[in-house]
Chains A and B, each alone.
Chain A
């Protein structure tokens, strides 16, 4: 219970990748949502660096040197903090 509360508090202080500003570097802090496993397999793992390159219906970001285009719905499940 304590762990869950700590996690909730942490996620409250974060912003999702869909909310993040284009051109900025972020660190992935938490994956929150039903597509977590899918995102992890594609390299969206906690503690990795991510840069948002373009916004829109689908946004583009760079993770570990790879450009990935992903839907806003997926991006909203990636919680990040400014690196």
Chain B
């Protein structure tokens, strides 16, 4: 993997500036991957020293200590000791420490020195240290630690060249660790006493003053709700514009391909299966995902996300989760995949599993087209306020059920072997790091396209094949469909979905959505033989008209209010996303967990839809 390149590992506490240094050193020349068999993301890249020597840089997960039990700490320790399969032991470690919090960050540096590897200390945020009145004697610090120390201000690019110089050949000799693990803390305090004098008096910083408002027991909640409202409003209001462009672009491409190719199965496959699959089933969700992650990145980078987790801890605790579960839950409103991946920061393994289990119940952006199709059918002539209220109700139904199930699940799981207490670092408020945010958004969008996109595209092609073959001589589209594999499947499915108020065609559309919900609208359009228009909105209106006119063989209306409500409830609860199941299996470390989640959520959705249909039928 690393070839003959020598490897430099970046180690440090969270918020020490490791990622900034990593990005500054490697630029765009980096790769993101996962350590095989474990759950922590790995970043590696390459860079040149001033002497033209190419080195490989590995960014280790941020951790406070090497001897802890969390996945992050285990990975860092295993890499530094050369015990991780597929990763060579580094030749040099750059220990990144925050100059303004040396007493806390040097502990890890001493642990790194104890591994016997050559170490260079990147003394970051010296500007912050100076502004808070800390006087650091770099020379003395270097002598005390026995390793080179490079003062830096990584976010302004200061000290990078010096750091590269310190990594030149030959690497520094490993420092002698003449202390025992028990003496480590005293050693740190002694080093700080001689090399870094802190001003005794405490003066309130800007962050303290801002926190006094944003974390206020009453006003803090007002700001929190306002920020969350703006976040969701922006996503829904602004994302519509690029979604329109993508839909327009898809139409142009589909028309262009149709004009260039002779009529036949191949053209149908490319236009209906591939182009519409990519454009209408995958790319159309990208704007909302990109926007949500941009805004989450903005909140994280500015330091607010940790405050949101602090505020939410009290509410989450009522459901036996902690504030740390808030970010995964929020991310899941865009897409459950990054939401499940964001649970890595949760210390408690049981809380992590419970959060992974309920994260897919947040209404992700893939459900929106389903809701947009069904909600207008529920009540005709709805005002925008009514529509908004129904949407809020849908979102809250998913969220509240998820929290209740999380509570029940945590109750059954019992307590953790090692008690996990709420402990969170609240970083100072900073101007957003745009480079970091854009990389974060690009990474998330890329992961969505790669993970979800490939599966959705495959489903679209399979759907096309199922509704096209086997062929019949008949010219009547309804007969063609009835003769096709899809038409036959719908007969098999019907008994299962009839108690919920649906016929075999809707049942087939639900069945196809089990791979990815995005294909529901496409399936319904094909199964109900709706005339597809060049304009997506017109197609949706055609579908809605067809559905409201659809009847059972005895002439009864098919999409009655109870049936529509049952269908909505089914889509709120069912886990219809194969990429999510794959990610859950990886993150939970077991396919059994993913299969259990899939079966539970599908069963729950069926029972909930059954109850809704049967009960509302009595009253409506």
**C-alpha gap A26/B402 in the complex (Å):** 42
> Which one of B77-85, B225-233, B269-277, B422-430 is at the A interface?
B422-430
The answer to the question of B207 belonging to the interface, with a C-beta cut-off of 8 Å to chain A, is yes
Q: List the B side residues contacting A45 at CB < 8 Å.
A: 103, 185, 188-189
Are A38 and B100 in contact, CB atoms less than 8 angstroms apart?
Answer: no
Known: A40-B185, A64-B104. A69 touches B419 (CB 8 A): no
Are A35 and B421 in contact, CB atoms less than 8 angstroms apart?
Answer: yes
Are A38 and B103 in contact, CB atoms less than 8 angstroms apart?
Answer: no
Are B64 and A71 in contact, CB atoms less than 8 angstroms apart?
Answer: no
The answer to the question of A42 belonging to the interface, with a C-beta cut-off of 8 Å to chain B, is yes
Known: A25-B202, A64-B104. A41 touches B422 (CB 8 A): no
Which of A40, A46, A63, A71 touches B421 (beta carbons < 8 Å)?
A71
Are B102 and A42 in contact, CB atoms less than 8 angstroms apart?
Answer: no
Per-residue 0/1 for A44-74: is the Cβ within 8 Å of any B Cβ (1 yes, 0 no)?
0111110101101110101111111111011
Are B132 and A42 in contact, CB atoms less than 8 angstroms apart?
Answer: no
Q: List the B side residues contacting A48 at CB < 8 Å.
A: 103, 189
**Chain B 91-134 interface residues, beta-carbon cutoff 8 Å to A:** 98, 100-104, 107, 128, 132, 134
Which of B134, B202, B314, B422 touches A70 (beta carbons < 8 Å)?
B422
Are B132 and A41 in contact, CB atoms less than 8 angstroms apart?
Answer: no
Closest residue of A by beta carbon distance from B423: A70
**B interface residue numbers (CB < 8 A to A):** 64-65, 68, 98, 100-104, 107, 128, 132, 134, 185, 188-189, 198, 200, 202, 207-208, 211, 215, 217, 306, 310, 313-314, 317, 323, 419, 421-428
**C-alpha gap A53/B307 in the complex (Å):** 14
Known: A35-B419, A65-B132, A66-B101. A41 touches B425 (CB 8 A): no
Are A38 and B421 in contact, CB atoms less than 8 angstroms apart?
Answer: yes
Q: List the B side residues contacting A38 at CB < 8 Å.
A: 421, 423
**C-alpha gap A79/B615 in the complex (Å):** 59
Are B423 and A67 in contact, CB atoms less than 8 angstroms apart?
Answer: no
Which of B189, B217, B426 touches A67 (beta carbons < 8 Å)?
B426
Which of B68, B215, B313, B426 touches A41 (beta carbons < 8 Å)?
B68
**C-alpha gap A38/B426 in the complex (Å):** 17
Known: A34-B419, A69-B422, A70-B423. A64 touches B102 (CB 8 A): yes
Cross-chain pairs A/B with CB under 8 angstroms, 19 sampled? A25-B202, A38-B421, A41-B68, A43-B103, A46-B185, A54-B211, A58-B313, A63-B103, A64-B104, A66-B98, A67-B207, A69-B313, A69-B422, A69-B423, A69-B424, A69-B425, A70-B421, A70-B422, A74-B422
